[in-house]
Amino acid sequence: MVKIALKVSFLAENISRLSVCGPEFDWNLKLKCTQCNETDENWHSINENEQIEGKKGHSTCNFQMKCKFCSNFATLDVIKDSIKPIDIGESGSVKDVTLVAFDCRGVEPVDFDPLNGWIGKNDESNSVFNDIDFTEESNAWVGFDEKTNNPVSIDEFSSKFFSCFLFIMEGHHLEREVRKIIARMSHRSHRASGYRRGR
């Protein structure tokens, strides 16, 4: 079981927050089999609200597939409560911010197409944009705020996948866990060094 985080980057104009429509959002992914390392060039839609009965009646999952290259059976789930809205600072620049995480067994996502189902908000005008759609241009969207008579946009949208042994569920939990692990490793290193000197 591997947990994979989807991180996004983009430039925003007159948008304070960007989010997907919720658990009903379709994550459009290309997937790679972890057994034969072959990538399926087809796009696969994964929806947190969709529950599929697992192989041989085992627990449900959001998505399952059989690799067409090696017949490896794989499943993928959207980790519950991992979908987070993205708050955009005054600079309008967002860099490698985690949007969602997936629980992957036998398969890993390698590409993401944002398509549609995105919601933007301008805190200054309290305007909400429910129609953000990247279908025509996969890395850009342009709209208009009628309350301020200003253009709004998302540009240079890109995404990356990162393996994570523990997904950030709240605050800096992951950061704390990493510090603990580093401290334990450092302690063991000091003990080993002392043991060698003692010999």
Question: Residues 159, 182: contact at Cβ < 8 Å?
Answer: no
- Closest to 112 (Cα-Cα) out of 44, 53, 169: 44
Mean pLDDT of the chain: 88
Task: Quote the pTM value.
Answer: 0.80
Q: Between the CA atoms of 143, 147, 148 and 154, what dihedral angle is there, to the nearest 10 degrees?
A: -20
User: What is the Cα–Cα distance from 50 to 116, expressed in whole angstroms?
Assistant: 18
Q: Would you say residue 171 has pLDDT above 50? A: no
The string of pLDDT tens digits covering residues 95-131 is: 999 999 999 999 999 999 999 999 999 999 999 999 8
What is the predicted pLDDT for the residue at 183?
67
Q: Are 147 and 126 in contact (CB under 8 A)?
A: yes
Q: Where are the domains of the chain?
A: 2-167, 169-199
Segment 128-148 mean pLDDT: 93
